Amino acid sequence: MLMEQLLLDTLIWLQELFWGWLAGLQTLLLAANKRVSVGYLVSATLVALLWFSWRHNWSVHDTLKQLYSRQIWWSRSARLDYMLVVVNQAIMLLLKPFLLGKLLVATAIYYAMADWLVPVAWSWSGLEWLVPVIYTLVLFLLDDASRYWLHHLMHRWPVLWAFHRLHHSAKTLTPFTVLRTHPVEAVLFGLRGALVQGLVTGAFVYLFGSKVSLLGVLGANGLVFMFNLLGANLRHSHVPLSYGSRVEKWLLSPAQHQLHHSQDRAHYDKNLGVVLAIWDRLGGTWLAYQPQTPLQFGVCDEYDQHDNLWQAYWQPLQQSGQAVKRVIQRWVSARQSG
């Protein structure tokens, strides 16, 4: 009887996991706060059509043929992207109960401020509309800055680069390459988002109470929505859309992010930001786009390319372990010589 109940509970759990996995995949393709949402893919296509028509006088047929080339979208690299999207969705669903949530962080920040700070009384008569504007802007700026900071660390620290290298191993770029990540990297960026968004939300709710709300579109930050709508998916594509040198000092273009994926060592560790270029300029990692021969994407180092799911998941763990071992060996040598 006990075994039957255990088997039944397991089947129910697997069923819930399966439907949760399908719901997650559906959210990726339909939710306004997901980069690869169908709406954003359509808008990126329209932006590319306008760009090719303006710059190269291409017809709609020729542009679509270039955009949706089978050699790109069904390349070995792209197929691995798709497999990682599907499998990672299941892995993150299993890890979700153990991950830090922004609501928990926001609640902790709110009560910590309430316990330790003197209550603040604000008079916003006639200016209540400013609170959502400021909240949305601060959330956008800190979220963008923290993405740059963590991305910078993932390039600089060998222990983290071992995982981020998977993303850079893509030899062809499609919008789904943005999701070509190792679960360890996904957990780190999820933790970053929970901490930043929770901190900002908790602080604003303490300071402004019920006046706090997000200026959003379909549940997405309005500024992020505009960024995605105006062709963010072209960042991971073979369409070198440039904004021009003046604009690119403030907003990173798809062409600049493609430099970031280039095999050319002159482009290594450049243009690490997501939306704003100011963080790269402050960090000395900004690189202007100059029209050039088509870029070669991927990584060139002593490790094999990630050609299948096993390599994609196991090699980063192996390489990160080797990096940790080297750090420990250097520390032990320094202690012995000292």
Alpha helices in the chain, H assignment, sequence order: 2-30, 38-56, 60-67, 70-73, 76-95, 102-116, 130-156, 158-168, 183-208, 222-229, 245-248, 254-260, 278-283, 309-337
Q: Which residues contact 195 (CB under 8 A, 6 or more apart)?
A: 100, 102, 105, 146
Q: pLDDT (tens digit, 9 = 90+) per residue, 98-145?
A: 888 899 999 999 899 988 887 776 666 667 788 899 999 999 999 999
Task: Give the number of domains in the chain.
Answer: 1
The rounded percent of the chain whose pLDDT value lies above 90 is 61
* Least confident segment among 26-30, 33-37, 208-212, 323-327: 208-212
Would you tell me the crossing angle of helices 222-229 and 130-156 to the nearest 10 degrees? 60
pLDDT tier at 288, thresholds 50, 70, 90: very high
> What is the structure's pLDDT at 322?
92
Q: pLDDT (tens digit, 9 = 90+) per residue, 250-286?
A: 999 999 999 999 998 889 999 999 999 999 999 999 9
Q: Is 145 contained in some domain? A: yes
pLDDT tier at 321, thresholds 50, 70, 90: very high
Q: Is 14 contained in some domain? A: no
> What is the structure's pLDDT at 335?
78
> What is the structure's pLDDT at 123?
67
Contact (CB, 8 A) for 272 and 280: yes
Q: Is 15 contained in some domain? A: no
- pLDDT, averaged across the chain: 90
Domain housing 60: 31-337
pTM given for the model = 0.92
Q: Is 172 contained in some domain? A: yes
Q: Is 16 contained in some domain? A: no
**Angle at alpha carbon of residue 69, lines to 66 and 71, rounded to 5°:** 130
Q: Is 209 contained in some domain? A: yes
Q: Which two tokens stand for residue 32?
A: 């306004």
Residue 230 has pLDDT above 80, yes or no: yes
> What is the structure's pLDDT at 303?
61
> What is the structure's pLDDT at 1?
65
Q: How many residues does the chain have?
A: 338
Q: Is 261 contained in some domain? A: yes
> What is the structure's pLDDT at 95?
92
Residue 9 has pLDDT above 80, yes or no: no
> What is the structure's pLDDT at 86?
96
> What is the structure's pLDDT at 331?
87
Give the residue-averaged pLDDT of 30-53.
92
Instruction: Say whether 251 sits in a helix, a strand or coil.
Output: strand
Q: Is 7 contained in some domain? A: no
d(CA 107, CA 59): 54
